[in-house]
Amino acid sequence: MQVMTTPLDAGSLFDLTGKVALVTGGSRGLGRQMSLAFAAAGADVVIASRKVDNCETVADEVRGLGRRALAVGCHVGRWDDVGRLADTAYEEFGRVDVLVNNAGMSPLYPSLDAVSEELYDKVFGVNLKGPFRLSAIVGTRMAAGEGGSIINVSSVASIRPTPTETPYAAAKAGLNAITIAMAHGFGPTVRVNCIVAGPFLTDISDAWDLPAFERQAKATMALQRGGQPQEVVGAALYFASAASSFTTGSLLRIDGGVR
């Protein structure tokens, strides 16, 4: 557990030297940016996603920053895959100090009555079941050791749901709930916090009607634009490091001021 007892400079506050971070959905978008930011701050990084080749590409980038990296193929919607991911990380590094539950999915559907059981189960598996199981395993090990930080990545849809993303919104609302519950369950040595993300212009946005999004952003967002992936880094480093030593059970909106 990191507790500040003397004043620290900004570099010391955000320093992750000697730490190990595990990032799901770490091969692209926000996950890639967080993985590289943790490495730049001194951490070794485990990058996990379904496609191990994509993880290996980011792992090479981490190694280029002078840190160790491990690429792991994992479908976080599968209970046993998540257990193997945790075991692999501990076998390689002996510890996990920062866990980021970033993997997510939100498939499109034409209407609410067209949502199939398969789609519903996949959305809840990736967005809620996997983060629950991985946090339960890693959080228990953190609490039995030197503590750590768990960072969940939720969505503004969890607090402002729409009919076009209802299963996703419900799953992310559940992620908000387990953030608070696990903050109490694993405290005082493990902090559990959540980034409630707004619309970020990752590769997923390639499928958006961008002119329509830009019009909507100007009308409904205080910053009148989507976020760039690197703009999540400040919040991630804050939650991962000693800078947030008295912050747990927090839901932090990084959404450009969506109303």
pLDDT at 7: 61
Could you give the CA distance from residue 191 to residue 173 in angstroms, rounded to a whole number? 19
Asked if residue 9 has pLDDT above 90, the reply is: no
112: Cα separation from own chain's centroid: 27
Q: What is the mean pLDDT of residues 86-93?
A: 98
pLDDT tens-digit series, residues 226-251: 999 999 999 999 999 999 999 999 99
For the chain, the average pLDDT equals 95
Q: Is residue 168 annotated as part of the catalytic site, yes or no?
A: yes
pLDDT at 205: 77
Asked if residue 190 has pLDDT above 60, the reply is: yes
Q: What residues pair up with 194 in beta bridges, in sequence order?
A: 152, 251
Q: What residues pair up with 99 in beta bridges, in sequence order?
A: 22, 150
Percent of the chain with pLDDT over 90: 90
Domains of the chain: 10-253 (3.40.50.720)
Q: Phi then psi for 3, rounded to 5 degrees?
A: -125, 125
Of 90, 109, 120, 168, the active-site residue reads: 168
pLDDT at 245: 97
Give buried/exposed letters for 92-121 (b at 16+ CB in 10 A, else e): ebebbbbbbbbbbbbeebeeeeeeeeeebe
Could you give the CA distance from residue 171 to residue 153 in angstroms, rounded to a whole number? 12
pLDDT tens-digit series, residues 30-88: 999 999 999 999 999 999 999 999 999 999 999 999 999 999 999 999 999 999 999 99
Confidence of residue 2 (pLDDT cuts 50, 70, 90): low
Instruction: List the structure tokens of 58.
Output: 């980011």
In the chain, the largest separation of any two C-alpha atoms, in whole Å, equals 57
Asked if residue 206 has pLDDT above 80, the reply is: no
Taking phi over 0 as left and psi of -120 to 50 as alpha, with beta for the rest, 76 belongs to alpha
Taking phi over 0 as left and psi of -120 to 50 as alpha, with beta for the rest, 235 belongs to alpha
Could you give the CA distance from residue 125 to residue 171 in angstroms, rounded to a whole number? 9
Asked if residue 202 has pLDDT above 80, the reply is: yes
pLDDT at 8: 64
Percent of the chain with pLDDT over 70: 97
Q: What is the pTM of this model?
A: 0.94
Asked if residue 114 has pLDDT above 90, the reply is: yes
pLDDT at 193: 98
